[in-house]
Chains A and B, each alone.
Chain A
Amino acid sequence: MELWTVGNKTILLLFVVIATYFTAAQPDPWIVLLFLIYSALNLMLHIVKGSRLKQGAIVLIELFLIGCAVYHPFFTLLLPFGCYELATFYPRKNGVVLLVILIPLIFLRDSMMVLYMFVAALSYFNYVLVRQYMGRIVRQEDENELIRKDMHRLARSLNENRDFARASEYMVKLEERSRLTQQIHDGIGHAMTGALIQMEATKRLLHSDPHTAESLLQNAIGISKEAIEEIRVTLKNNKPPVEQLGLSRLKTAVEAFSGKTGMMTSVVHDGNMEIITPLQWKIIYENVTEALTNSAKYSGATSAHVEIRVLNRFIKAVVSDNGQGSSKIVKGLGLIGMEERTASVNGTVIADGSQGFTVTTLIPYGRE
């Protein structure tokens, strides 16, 4: 800002110097003195610190210029700059400045008036423009600062969340393991122990009492058969069905998201979930979690809604939030990733920001 003003001032000063000094028939030493004083005052303005002092210096310069103007009218041309400099200390009063700088017009005549008007208008636009740019820079710096803080906070919470996720994953695994151990211990363990005891007895009786040994062995075989059957049942019971895997995995993920961010979430589904293949589930899962993450990051939403519907020819997965949305969507990496994933199964992703933010994944599927 300062550099700009100084540059403009210098240009105008040069113009005034040329107009007054070099065009005059007789070189006037007094004018040289006045110019030097003006330059000195301006230097002083840039040397002094503190807004009071600076304002004082500007007022001094302006008074000096008014004095000079009486001597030579061209000095009025330098007046507007002081006004602008003064105005920078009082933002939001652009109109007043314009009025103030128009005051000298009353005292000016003819070509001088036109010239002054020209200079005043030109420098005014210059000043307004510079002000605007300065404002923008300040705003952007503030924004930068905010973003930096945000990043810091997010990085920290990311770390915490990661630890938490790791811990809970471990807990779940432990629980699951102990449940399985229990089941194996309770059912198969007992049966196998029984079969083993009977087989040990058979070994002893094999030569002395083959008949009893045979019945004992038969017994052991029966127990083993049952045990194998039980293993099969246990395994079958423990292996979840595909659609349950997909939907419950999705639900768990959405609930975990809700717990992590504090957003209200809901998951509804409609239609025959069985026709969704594991690959399609994978894509839906990834798109939904990505969309939820985006909602939490950008939209300022307090709730998000997930809907999975199987239509006649399409599988539709929608994530919608109640955030601010956006009228024009700029595709980020997240959205492009979703599109690419979905395109691999001939599907499309529509992002809409008209009422909150909605990401719809449409995947066609062939019937028959």
Chain B
Amino acid sequence: MNVLDIRGLTKKFGEFVAVDNMSLTVREGEIFGFLGANGAGKSTTINMVSSLLRPSSGEIRILDRDITKQSRFAKLNLGIVPQDLAIYEDMTAYENVSFFAGLYGLRGTQLKERTEEALEFVGLSDKAKSLPKNFSGGMKRRLNIACAIAHKPKLIIMDEPTVGIDPQSRNYILTSVRNLNESGCTIIYTSHYMEEVEEICSRIAIVDHGKIIAEGTKEQLKSTITDVKDIRIEVKSAQPAAAGVLKAIPGVRTVLQEENVIRIHSDAAVDNLNRILKQLMDDGMEIRSVEEKEPNLETVFLTLTGRNLRD
């Protein structure tokens, strides 16, 4: 089932087109990455999905139902973790989560249980009675997530949830995203941190100037620019016969040998570095250095748009 379906979505601010005839499908169980520079139209798209902005044209469906015609259904199944913190600093962590969950129709003991569950999930149970004023940046971000998940939405949208926090909190958040996904949530994750998206997302769309310019798994995206990886291995005492043996390894296309440096072109899709190294060592060659040049999402973005993600 498609959790999110976007067809021909356009948003204009005056004459400026922020989102340009975008179409997109997110399937159940995915962690869908939305990768693009600042101002590429990610947040505008997300704001339209969460009905903060009205589309200029186009259609958005959540769980196969139109979000303007059945907005209550769409909203009940949607959890938003906004880019900027959206919590009340003068209410305790518990009160925050409980208030927002209450808006989703939870009452009484159910409300209490879900609130505690959400706080437990983000590891803030022991801070339930404290005011967020005294929280660290990472803790606030976690509370921000808790407020979005207490009502158990099917689709959670996380808009840059890791901006400006310490590595530890960041890891914590990435782990909780995975846990949420495993518990059955579909997640849309926007970021301009390429590494994060590459690490956790099962499918990725690259957005630029309000358009999706490429979409697919990270392997598919990388293969849009090249399907070859470049491996450079320096050994201590190369044997002349090495090249021939290496060519037999699956994925390897060409092998060039210049004295002690072996350069291999191989299919990027085949994970064969370990076999190559093992082969060389079995042949009694001592390895000094290995360099693998594989395109990452950053280079994909750079090649396709001519600009850096963080311009």
Min CB distance, A92 to chain B, in Å? 32
Contact between B225 and A311 (Cβ–Cβ < 8 Å)?
yes
Chain A residues with Cβ under 8 A from B270's Cβ? Answer: none
The answer to whether the Cβ of A362 comes within 8 Å of any Cβ in the partner chain is yes
Mask for A213-252, Cβ within 8 A of B = 1, else 0?
A: 0000000000000000000000000000000000000000
Chain A residues with Cβ under 8 A from B212's Cβ? Answer: 348
Contact between A362 and B304 (Cβ–Cβ < 8 Å)?
yes
Number of A residues with CB within 8 Å of any CB on chain B = 21
Chain A residues with Cβ under 8 A from B224's Cβ? Answer: 311-314, 364
Instruction: A329 to B307: give the CA distance in the assembly, Å.
Output: 16
Interface residues of A (CB under 8 A from B): 311-314, 316, 318, 320, 328-331, 348, 350-352, 354-355, 358, 360, 362, 364
A interface SS class: strand
Instruction: A325 to B149: give the CA distance in the assembly, Å.
Output: 43
Given A348-B211, A351-B209, CB of A314 within 8 Å of CB of B306: no
| CB interface residues, B 201-256, toward A, < 8 Å | 208-209, 211-214, 223-227
With contacts A313-B225, A314-B214 known, what are 16 further pairs, Cβ within 8 A?
A312-B224, A313-B224, A314-B225, A314-B304, A316-B303, A328-B16, A331-B17, A348-B212, A350-B208, A350-B213, A351-B209, A352-B305, A354-B307, A354-B311, A358-B306, A360-B306
Chain A residues with Cβ under 8 A from B126's Cβ? Answer: none
Contact between A312 and B226 (Cβ–Cβ < 8 Å)?
yes
How big is chain B's contact interface, by range? 20 to 34
The contact sample of 29 A-B pairs, CB cut-off 8 A, is: A311-B224, A312-B224, A312-B225, A312-B226, A314-B214, A314-B225, A314-B304, A316-B304, A318-B306, A320-B306, A329-B16, A329-B17, A329-B209, A330-B16, A331-B17, A348-B211, A348-B212, A350-B305, A351-B209, A352-B208, A352-B209, A352-B307, A354-B307, A355-B307, A358-B306, A360-B304, A362-B213, A362-B304, A364-B224
Q: Number of contacts between A and B (CB, 8 Å)?
A: 52
Interface residues of B (CB under 8 A from A): 15-17, 208-209, 211-214, 223-227, 303-307, 311
Instruction: A358 to B223: give the CA distance in the assembly, Å.
Output: 24
Chain A residues with Cβ under 8 A from B305's Cβ? Answer: 350, 352, 360
Chain B residues with Cβ under 8 A from A313's Cβ? Answer: 223-225
Closest 6 CB pairs between A and B? Answer: A313-B224, A330-B15, A311-B225, A328-B16, A312-B226, A350-B209
Chain B residues with Cβ under 8 A from A352's Cβ? Answer: 208-209, 305-307
Instruction: A331 to B16: give the CA distance in the assembly, Å.
Output: 8
Chain B residues with Cβ under 8 A from A364's Cβ? Answer: 224
Instruction: A341 to B22: give the CA distance in the assembly, Å.
Output: 17
Contact between B306 and A312 (Cβ–Cβ < 8 Å)?
no
Contact between B226 and A311 (Cβ–Cβ < 8 Å)?
yes
Chain A residues with Cβ under 8 A from B303's Cβ? Answer: 311, 316
Determine the residue in chain B with the shortest Cβ distance to A347: B213
Determine the residue in chain B with the shortest Cβ distance to A311: B225
Min CB distance, B110 to chain A, in Å? 47
Instruction: A304 to B115: give the CA distance in the assembly, Å.
Output: 59
